[in-house]
């Protein structure tokens, strides 16, 4: 059997198209050192023309809606492709922030007090303040990469933010003050913990993707006890949500020492300076080696499937 071609998918139709293109180009260049690799730009919600499940193993660098919400994954499964990353079911669950909260909290991972609501039946500012306080994090339930994130610090701000919600499914959470941490996982095992320190105090879309607005420390300056706690919680969350191959899990460590899950990212950014590669470097994996590890389980599934045939 000839070695399969790694098909790197990037672009997509979400708000994160440009970020995805950067991730895909970086991953494709890294994979090309050791694997025959082709780069596909996705311009519609469909599997790109020219892909063949008998010849290609898919590595998706798509982000956001249709990229990491299970949409592309479902099409790949229906067409018989082996592909890297979480399957359609796990991707769909992790893209839904509220369902993720429910799944991980059932396994003992702490989440901030919160509420899920539809914009058409949204609570009043008074109701939300009574339930969660005036310091609230408001975000779309099914979006990626901090898209639509709002940090609200006053009752008046809460009223204004809620008034602006016209449609969609939303999550409101009590704001946790402390240190933001993230950890990458390979085959369900946690790698290094990275600390994220946005200069604005909020790791929103602008802070994430504007050079110089955020500082990163890898590994995070934590005690061994706290580091171990973060890694265990990440591994528990990964398993609780049925993740596969790899993911990145984000947390907030409160000033009182409580660890709270923020979200699970099943297709994290893949530039060399992105958070998953930072986490991998903490355990001795450079960017090229990381990319090889990310695609390895899909290559194993491809080999197993074609050996059976």
Q: Please tell me which residue in 45, 134, 209, 229 is annotated as part of the active site.
A: 209
Say whether 105 is catalytic: no
Task: State how far the Cα of 83 lies from the Cα of 188, in Å rounded to an integer.
Answer: 17
Say whether 200 is catalytic: no
Q: Please tell me which residue in 60, 265, 274, 279 is annotated as part of the active site.
A: 265
Q: How far lies 289's CA from each of 47, 97, 296, in Å?
A: 27, 30, 11
Say whether 16 is catalytic: yes
Say whether 116 is catalytic: no
Say whether 263 is catalytic: yes
Q: Please tell me which residue in 68, 269, 274, 279 is annotated as part of the active site.
A: 269
Say whether 216 is catalytic: no
Q: What is the DSSP string of the chain?
A: -PPPEEEEEEE-SSTTHHHHHHHHHHHHHHHTTTS-EEEEEE-SSSPPTT--TTTEEEEE---STTTSSSHHHHHHHHTT-EESS--HHHHHHHHSHHHHHHHHHTTT-----EEEEEGGGPPPHHHHHHHH-S-EEEEETT--TTTT-EEE-SHHHHHHHHHT--SSEEEEEEPPPEEEEEEEEETTEEEEEEEEEETTS---HHHHHSTTSEEEESS----HHHHHHHHHHHHHHHHHTT--SEEEEEEEEETTS-EEEEEEESS---STTSHHHHHHHTTT--HHHHHHHHHHHHHHHHHHHHHH-
Which residues are within 8 A (CB) of 282 and not within 5 positions of it... i.e. 6 or more apart?
191, 192, 193, 194, 218, 219
Which residues are catalytic, by number?
16, 145, 209, 248, 250, 263, 265, 269
């Amino acid at each position: 059997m000839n070695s399969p071609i790694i098909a790197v998918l990037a672009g997509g139709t979400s708000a994160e198209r440009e970020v995805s293109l950067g991730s895909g180009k970086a991953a494709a260049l890294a994979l090309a050192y050791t694997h025959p690799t082709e780069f596909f730009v996705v311009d519609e919600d469909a599997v790109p023309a020219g892909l063949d499940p008998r010849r290609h193993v898919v590595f998706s660098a798509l982000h956001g809606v249709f990229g990491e919400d299970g949409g592309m994954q479902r099409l790949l499964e229906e067409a018989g492709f082996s592909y890297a990353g979480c399957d359609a079911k796990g991707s769909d669950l992790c893209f839904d922030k509220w369902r993720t909260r429910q799944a991980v909290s059932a396994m003992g991972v702490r989440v901030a007090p919160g509420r899920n609501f539809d914009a058409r039946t949204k609570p009043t500012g008074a109701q939300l303040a009574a339930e969660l306080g005036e310091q609230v994090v408001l975000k779309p339930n099914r979006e990626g990469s901090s898209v639509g994130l709002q940090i609200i610090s006053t009752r008046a701000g809460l009223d204004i933010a809620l008034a602006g919600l016209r449609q969609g499914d939303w999550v409101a959470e009590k704001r946790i003050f402390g240190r933001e941490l993230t950890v990458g996982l390979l085959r369900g095992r946690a790698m290094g913990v990275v600390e994220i320190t946005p200069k604005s105090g909020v790791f929103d879309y602008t802070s994430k993707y504007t050079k110089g607005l955020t500082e990163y420390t890898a590994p995070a300056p934590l005690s061994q006890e706290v580091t171990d706690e973060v890694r265990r919680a990440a591994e528990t969350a990964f398993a609780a949500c049925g993740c596969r191959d790899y993911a990145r899990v984000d947390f907030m460590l409160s000033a009182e020492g409580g660890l709270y899950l923020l979200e699970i990212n099943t297709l994290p950014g893949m530039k060399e300076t992105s958070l998953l590669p930072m986490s991998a470097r903490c355990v001795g994996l450079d960017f090229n080696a990381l990319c090889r590890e990310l695609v390895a389980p899909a290559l194993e599934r491809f080999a197993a499937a074609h050996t059976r045939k």
